[in-house]
Amino acid sequence: MSSTYGENLKLCIFGQSHGAAIGMTLDGIPAGLAVDFDALQAFLDRRSPGQGDWSTPRKESDQPEFLAGIVDGYTCGAPIAAVIRNTNTRSGDYEELKDRPRPGHADFTAQMKYGGFQDAAGGGHFSGRLTAPLCIAGGLCKGWLEALGIRIGAHIIRIGSEAAGGFDPLQPQLDQVGQFFPTLNADAAERFQAAIAAAKAQGDSVGGMIQCAITGLPAGLGEPMFGGVESRIAQIVYGIPAVKSVAFGIGEQVATLNGSTCNDAFAIENGKIVTETNRCGGILGGITNGMPVLFTAAFKPTPSISKPQKTVSLSQMEETQLQVKGRHDPCIVPRAVPVVEAAAAIAVMDMLLGNTQTPRRKD
Amino acid sequence: MSSTYGENLKLCIFGQSHGAAIGMTLDGIPAGLAVDFDALQAFLDRRSPGQGDWSTPRKESDQPEFLAGIVDGYTCGAPIAAVIRNTNTRSGDYEELKDRPRPGHADFTAQMKYGGFQDAAGGGHFSGRLTAPLCIAGGLCKGWLEALGIRIGAHIIRIGSEAAGGFDPLQPQLDQVGQFFPTLNADAAERFQAAIAAAKAQGDSVGGMIQCAITGLPAGLGEPMFGGVESRIAQIVYGIPAVKSVAFGIGEQVATLNGSTCNDAFAIENGKIVTETNRCGGILGGITNGMPVLFTAAFKPTPSISKPQKTVSLSQMEETQLQVKGRHDPCIVPRAVPVVEAAAAIAVMDMLLGNTQTPRRKD
Amino acid sequence: MSSTYGENLKLCIFGQSHGAAIGMTLDGIPAGLAVDFDALQAFLDRRSPGQGDWSTPRKESDQPEFLAGIVDGYTCGAPIAAVIRNTNTRSGDYEELKDRPRPGHADFTAQMKYGGFQDAAGGGHFSGRLTAPLCIAGGLCKGWLEALGIRIGAHIIRIGSEAAGGFDPLQPQLDQVGQFFPTLNADAAERFQAAIAAAKAQGDSVGGMIQCAITGLPAGLGEPMFGGVESRIAQIVYGIPAVKSVAFGIGEQVATLNGSTCNDAFAIENGKIVTETNRCGGILGGITNGMPVLFTAAFKPTPSISKPQKTVSLSQMEETQLQVKGRHDPCIVPRAVPVVEAAAAIAVMDMLLGNTQTPRRKD
Amino acid sequence: MSSTYGENLKLCIFGQSHGAAIGMTLDGIPAGLAVDFDALQAFLDRRSPGQGDWSTPRKESDQPEFLAGIVDGYTCGAPIAAVIRNTNTRSGDYEELKDRPRPGHADFTAQMKYGGFQDAAGGGHFSGRLTAPLCIAGGLCKGWLEALGIRIGAHIIRIGSEAAGGFDPLQPQLDQVGQFFPTLNADAAERFQAAIAAAKAQGDSVGGMIQCAITGLPAGLGEPMFGGVESRIAQIVYGIPAVKSVAFGIGEQVATLNGSTCNDAFAIENGKIVTETNRCGGILGGITNGMPVLFTAAFKPTPSISKPQKTVSLSQMEETQLQVKGRHDPCIVPRAVPVVEAAAAIAVMDMLLGNTQTPRRKD
């Protein structure tokens, strides 16, 4: 199914970039969960455009209207529905892109799949704008998880050739993230912003990488095989446009190590079983071990750049040039940070709702 | 759901390492598809243990018995069911592991989830042995896809510190893979085997990385957002034990590039639209563009090593030592190659069964 | 999952009777399907209140606003989303019902399930008003099916003690139904309306039965066992409030017959295989045989009546009396006719999207 | 999906009547549930053939072999898999039926769907024999539910023209059912058996009706709309071959009543809220009210009768006669009683696993 996620909750994301509205329905949430609308809006604002030199100047309010499922600040058990009106009107700017697809964008594949019936304006259903309703659902879930002691936070660990260190895998510094351009130190933020500015100055864009941590999860969450925590998180994180890699713990580094240097030794700390290191990212056999869950997502550079690019004319079936007009984020990574948190929150909420743990055997 | 995969087909993998049998059911396959049992067995044999110095000497036949769904060499529309009998008898060897969980293994998380009721013998349902029924389902799908002109092949690109180049992204050399220890050249195979032998000599294990290519897919396969090709493949590949990273195209490298160096330019070749490079791995917006689909999966080293390791006693709640007995693969990567192909084949078959493409608009 | 239906399409119905809006999302619909908004509105109007003495005088516009998924009159492949604003404001009328549940209504079970967090106003998510978005989805599907030559029509065959004959099972008279109060002859309509008026005059309500026919279905639609046509239709029809029986063909009468009098003999008519009778309602083994599909649904009388009824006070835990205020349909059956058609259309559309039929074997 | 059921558990039924084996996989069951193999076998024996003059003399052992998921008498959290070997060998008897489909049977629709690739022998996947693995899954669930105080029992209320009264809807007499030919009194059993014998004597068959009761369910189970208890039970009960009607409570009678005579008044009994009558069958708005759940299922007569019947030759496309050879049940209703119980048990288990009830609001 295309735009629907979840085993125990069902999230449907709808809308096109220049359609009447974007929004989401979220079914399967129990009644009685409190909703903090101010905290949710603050979360959504982290994704909003126009927050610095690094993002598109297009200004959207991104204030959701809740149509259903919440009464007097609590979920009522019925599906939650929310919409964000699009204020940008439809324009003819995109007819050209329908004939001359942007390299790196979904213009071409949408044409192949939908045969010309797709909504091409602004990228249609493939627009990064669709991450706003993902953040509505994720922001709600994040709040409910926090009430259970489960915290989620993400930060930028790479922009182009500039890199920075990751979280302490045993104690992720979640208090240091949560703002708009989250890095673990000011130096990294400066270097990253300079890299984005440099790309922008050249009419170009740049990619990057985000690391996300989830703390407070109980040991024993997740299912064997296809229902493992990695499977569930990877499926939804790959639903975020531009993601090309999802890795857990130390990720690809595991391929370079020996068992003796990769395994995380068990130890006892304050009467609780822990691992002394956390290379596995808190997951063994698809199931949480009680340590922080850690994963990274690599984002490709925004495909829409103002530099001329080679493409083809679908109607003429000939090679041609394309220079993308309009204003686009030179780097979507800063705005993608809350989106990654949202995706993680939805995946965790879904798993918790279906979690069946067995009390310890007595005999 | 734990051990069930698929939107349009439903695959259920069952069995425990030392139980009566392992197997699979595969529902939703159309009638009339031919089954080549010899080709299937040859595919399964690539996963079998005991094929060299690099794998466990435990010898299992891994010959499936088909119980249902296939009549006279053709699928009949009813669910397919197949089992492989386990010939290893249950032993008390694993009671110790139930109390002293192996670092890096699912022993501990299974205990946390199932409270002591899990089948601990041989890793139970978390054993790598469960990839055999995955290969039955995947081998069937692979054969049916080949009849449609869709080919799938994988090879090893890293063992520990030794690395080798990947496929030609425009024309993956699928004719050069398919054997037991597949690499694109003999030099790589030698270095990789030496790295495994070195780890084994030290009572240790080593990780590695596999790259997989899928050719012949139509443009327009996949769904937006959560039903994208990356989401569908990542979910099932993360169901393979030991995988900690799944990446598409050039993977994490996208984070280091600019739009102008990452985008794949469109061109026309023999009257067909192609991309001049294939950094995106054949997928844009979650949907295939007609170029080869490419992805990598990183495998951690086998956690079971004979070197002494630090762990805890669950019953005594004290730190202790563990020396894993028995014979284990010093590196599972060679045997995991067909498993990755199987996972890819199942994901593609699932997507094809649900594919709804629209003929090109006329007006 | 509560309010989500479908294997190949995913329909989510949201909203509460006195909330901001009701609506639906419909994911999985291919691109390029034409939408006739006038025909859809005419279909929705058949469900609207205030059409005669038999329905509640509450007047709602029931004009959907489409937010996503349709561009220039064609589906674009993205999820379809539509809302209907509620114009009735919230009132305190229902606080009493939260404490003193109406017999026969979901007031009590909602309280048991949602612990007081449910939206009690107007029945909340359990209101018959939620059948409006079901009719949006169903009306869309009905139109698309008609373009394929598949027609769906329903009529009333019983109101209280008054009954009328059903469709000709071989050639359902679909041209005679489709209006607001559909019966196969004027006499039945008169008797039914009189029965409703009689119930209303006594401050009471009355139940009834609807029969629905689907023609033009290909033989071979449906899946064995749990994916049979009966299973798929029954699941969604039981989602309509007040339905307590769903039966196919001659329904319960099959229990009274012998094989020789129940089996439908095969014959050849104009070079096509038909059955001479159609007691099975066009379904054998869960799969269509090419004859009209026929089913009935029994509706209980509206539980909200103005006669005094015995109930309990949840807060006082004592027995008490209740006299329901406000205006309610004395019989929901007339307005439920298009809802039954909508449910059938959604189920058929879902099955068609997942249909995998095998071309006839050649060897 | 064809042969797979469940939202929170996943049941797959596989096998064909004359294939190597029939069986089932059941995924999603928590670890630590005890399995009483003797009780399960006793339950399965109630479905076995050859128990009287009323069933086919074909003798099958129907002893399941458990391959996975159960260790030392307890579920281990991994999928449960069980098979029953078929001892009847394949025969050519059925080639004729492939060309001349039996009226009332799935022969014709299977041919339309599978194009000749279906397993026609003994009805293949459509055989009533497939209810044996349904009873394995259902028998397991029934046992686990009993441990929670939830009891399920069914009995025969009609065979042909002979009818008998149903359960006391407030206190179903579950202690009086559970044997092979369950009726509430000896007189009914005699009349029913005589009716079956009469049909058999004429080379004919006869239909019937079963009523099922579920007691001990908590109030608040089920979900609104498509996840209601009626929807969930009807979907699976319609998966039993020959069922043409599924109704809850007083079923179709609701259509004949007024609200004042149909509503079940609430009352307080021993400090607990009950209803004074139970016409709704324990379900309001799709959700249990704590009273017994009651439903009926109507079964058509066995289509395979020895009387000559009119059919067509598919190869010749001409009308012809058919006289079904072999031995068939003159009435499947007695053997279907445990199957109905099994279906109900699976549906209830599935709902309980996904149940999210909210503690009562405090403010």
Tell me: the pLDDT tens digits for A173-203? Answer: 999 998 889 999 999 999 999 999 999 999 9
Residue C224 contacts B where some CB pair is shorter than 8 Å: yes
Residue B277 touches chain A, beta carbons under 8 Å: no
Contact C76 A20 (CB under 8 A): no
Amino acid at D286: G
Q: What is the DSSP letter of C178?
A: -
Please determine, for residue A230, whether its predicted confidence score (pLDDT) is greater than 80.
yes
Closest Cβ opposite residue C234 in set D112, D238, D260: D238
Distance, CA of B243 to CA of B245 (rounded, Å): 6
User: Are A333 and A156 spatial neighbours (Cβ–Cβ below 8 Å)?
Assistant: yes
In this complex, which of C10, C15, C65 lies closest to A1 when CB atoms are compared?
C10
- Is residue D249 within 8 Å of D279, Cβ to Cβ? yes
Q: What is A5-51 written as a DSSP string?
A: E-SSSEEEEEE-TTSSEEEEEEE-PPTT-B--HHHHHHHHHTT-S-S
Let me know: does D332 contact D128? Beta carbons within 8 Å: yes
**Nearest beta carbon to residue D358 from set A30, A224, A358:** A30
Q: Which residue of chain B has the CA closest to A294?
A: B244
How many Cβ pairs within 8 Å bridge chains B and D?
Answer: 171
Q: Is B20–D65 a contact, with Cβ atoms under 8 angstroms apart?
A: yes
At residue A92, the pLDDT reads 62
Q: What is the pLDDT of residue D4?
A: 87
Q: Which chains touch A (3 or more CB pairs under 8 A)?
A: B, C, D
Distance, in Å, from the CA atom of A224 to the CA atom of A231, rounded to the nearest integer, reads 10
* Cα A106 to Cα A128, B220, B252, distances in angstroms: 11, 10, 20
- Both tokens of A51, joined, read 């927050």
- State the DSSP string of D98-118: HHSPPTTSTHHHHHHHHTT-S
What is the pLDDT confidence band of residue C50, given thresholds at 50, 70 and 90?
low
CATH superfamily of C4-353: Chorismate synthase AroC (3.60.150.10)
Q: Look at A258 and B114 and tell me if their CB atoms are within 8 Å.
A: no
Give the pLDDT mean for B30-44: 96
Angle between helices B131-147 and B333-353 (to 10 degrees): 50
A&C contacts, CB < 8 Å: 172
Residue C90 has pLDDT above 80, yes or no: no
Give the residue with greater pLDDT, C178 vs B64.
B64
Contact A309 B263 (CB under 8 A): yes
Kindly list the residues from chain B whose CB atom is less than 8 angstroms away from the CB atom of residue D110: 77
Hey, are the CB atoms on B305 and A276 less than 8 Å from each other? no
Q: What percent of chain C lies above the pLDDT cut of 90?
A: 84
Q: Using the Cα atoms of residue A53, residue A59, residue A62 and residue A63 in order, give the sign of their dihedral.
A: positive
Q: A356: pLDDT confidence band, cut at 50, 70 and 90? A: confident
Spatial neighbors of D168 by CB under 8 A, at least 6 apart, are none
Instruction: Please report residues of C whose CB lies closer than 8 A to that of D303.
Output: 259, 262-263
Q: Does B92 touch chain D (CB under 8 A)?
A: no
B41 exposed, middle or buried (CB, 10 Å; 0-12, 13-18, 19+)?
Answer: middle
Find the range with the poorest average confidence among A86-95, A275-284, C114-123: A86-95
Answer whether D30 touches A (CB < 8 Å).
Answer: yes
Cα D107 to its chain centre, rounded Å, is: 21
Give which of A94, A96, A68, A73 is closest to A12, Cα–Cα: A68
Distance from CA of D223 to the nearest CA of C (A): 5
Handedness of CA A274, A278, A279, A285 (dihedral sign): positive
B359·C30 Cβ contact <8 A? no
User: Do residue C268 and residue D312 have CB atoms under 8 angstroms apart?
Assistant: yes
Which of D5, D13, D67, D84 is the mutation pick for testing B, counting most B CBs within 10 A?
D67
Mean pLDDT of C309-329: 90
Q: In chain A, which residue's Cα lies nearest the Cα of C80?
A: A14
What is the C-alpha separation between C233 and C243, in angstroms, rounded?
Answer: 13
Say if residue B55's pLDDT is above 70: no
- Residue B106 CA to residue D132 CA, distance in Å, equals 35
Q: What is the CA radius of gyration of chain C?
A: 21
Nearest to D78 among B28, B65, B125 (CB): B125
Tell me which H or E stretch contains C237.
helix C229-237
Residue C96's Cβ-side half-sphere holds a number of Cα atoms within 13 Å equal to 12
- In the chain, the amino acid numbered B61 is S
Tokens at A306, concatenated: 């103002």
Mean pLDDT of B231-258: 98
pLDDT higher than 70, residue A300? yes
Which value, in Å, is the radius of gyration of the alpha carbons in chain A?
A: 21
Contact C239, D241 (CB under 8 A): no
Q: Flag whether residue A89 sits within 8 Å of chain B, measured between CB atoms.
A: no
Interface contact flag, C2 D287, Cβ < 8 Å: no
Q: CB contact, 8 Å: D271 with chain C?
A: yes
Closest chain A CA to residue C32? A117
Residue D55: per-residue pLDDT: 57
- Local structure of residue B298 (DSSP, 8 states): E
Cα first-last separation, chain A: 45
For residue A54, what are its two tokens?
Answer: 């690094």
C323 residue type, one letter: Q
DSSP C113-162: HHTT-S--GGGGGGSGGGHHHHHHHHHHHHHHHHTTT-EEEEEEEEETTE
- The alpha-carbon gap from C72 to the nearest alpha carbon of chain D, in Å, equals 32
Confidence of residue A325 (pLDDT cuts 50, 70, 90): confident
A1 touching chain C per CB within 8 A? yes
Closest CB from A12, A16, A28 relative to C10: A12
> What is the sign, positive or negative, of the torsion defined by CA atoms of C243, C249, C250, C254?
negative
H or E element in which residue C262 lies: helix C259-262
Q: How many helices (H) and strands (E) in chain D?
A: 8, 18
Residue A223 CA to residue A218 CA, distance in Å, equals: 13
Any D CB within 8 A of B77 CB? yes
- A99 burial via Cβ count (<10 Å: 0-12, 13-18, 19+): middle
In this complex, is the C-beta atom of B355 within 8 Å of any C-beta atom belonging to chain C? no
Tokens 């065959």 appear where? C157
The pLDDT of residue B231 is: 97
| Model pLDDT, residue C363 | 64
Give the residue ranges of DSSP H helices in chain A.
Answer: 37-45, 95-99, 107-114, 131-147, 186-201, 229-237, 259-262, 333-353
Q: Kindly state whether C77 is in contact with chain B, defined as any CB-CB distance less than 8 angstroms.
A: yes
A358, A360, A362: which to substitute to probe chain D, counting the most D Cβ within 10 Å? A358
Separation in Å, CA B64 to CA A34, B68, B122, D23, D303:
52, 12, 20, 16, 36
* Residue B154 DSSP label: E
Length of chain B: 363
Residues forming beta bridges with residue B159, ordered by sequence position: B162, B208
Per-residue pLDDT, averaged over A294-323, amounts to: 95
Say how far apart CA D55 and CA D331 lie, in whole Å.
Answer: 7
CA distances from D174 to B278, D151, D183 (A): 67, 8, 11
Residues of B in contact with D133 (CB under 8 A): none
Query: Chain B contacts of C31, Cβ < 8 Å?
Result: 358
* Residue-wise pLDDT tens digits, A34-56: 999 999 999 999 998 766 655 55
Residues of chain C positioned with their CB less than 8 A from the CB of D268:
312, 317-319
Q: Which chains touch B (3 or more CB pairs under 8 A)?
A: A, C, D
Nearest C-alpha in D relative to C363: D116
Distance from CA of D21 to the nearest CA of B (A): 5
DSSP D129-195: GGHHHHHHHHHHHHHHHHHTT-EEEEEEEEETTEE-----SSS--GGG--SSS--SSHHHHHHHHHH
CA distance B16 to D124: 30
Is there a contact between D358 and C117 if contact means CB atoms under 8 Å apart? Answer: yes
Judge whether C104 is closer than 8 Å to chain D, CB to CB.
Answer: yes
* Per-residue model confidence as pLDDT tens digits over D66-107: 999 999 999 999 999 999 999 865 566 667 778 999 999 999
- Residues B220-230 as b/e (b if ≥16 CB within 10 A, e otherwise) read bbbbbbbbbbb
Q: Assess: ipTM above 0.90.
A: yes
Report the mean per-residue pLDDT for chain C. 93
CA–CA dist C40, A104 (Å, integer):
39
3-state secondary structure D319-352: EEEECCCCCCCCCCHHHHHHHHHHHHHHHHHHHH
Contact call for B353 and C356, based on CB within 8 A: yes
Collect the ranges in chain D with pLDDT lower than 70: 1, 50-61, 88-94, 363
Q: How far is residue B329 from each of residues A261, B129, C305, D67, measured CA to CA in Å?
A: 17, 12, 73, 26
Q: Report CB contact under 8 Å: D223, C1.
A: yes
Q: Residue B342 contacts by C-beta under 8 Å, 6 or more apart in sequence? A: B43, B131, B134, B135, B137, B138, B139, B141, B142
Average pLDDT, chain D: 93
Q: Label residue B2 by pLDDT band (50, 70, 90).
A: confident
Listed in sequence order, the DSSP H helices in chain B are 37-45, 95-99, 107-114, 131-147, 186-201, 229-237, 259-262, 333-353
Residues of A in contact with B160 (CB under 8 A): 255-258
Answer yes or no: do D104 and C13 touch at CB < 8 A: no
Out of C25, C32, C76, whose CB is closest to A25? C25
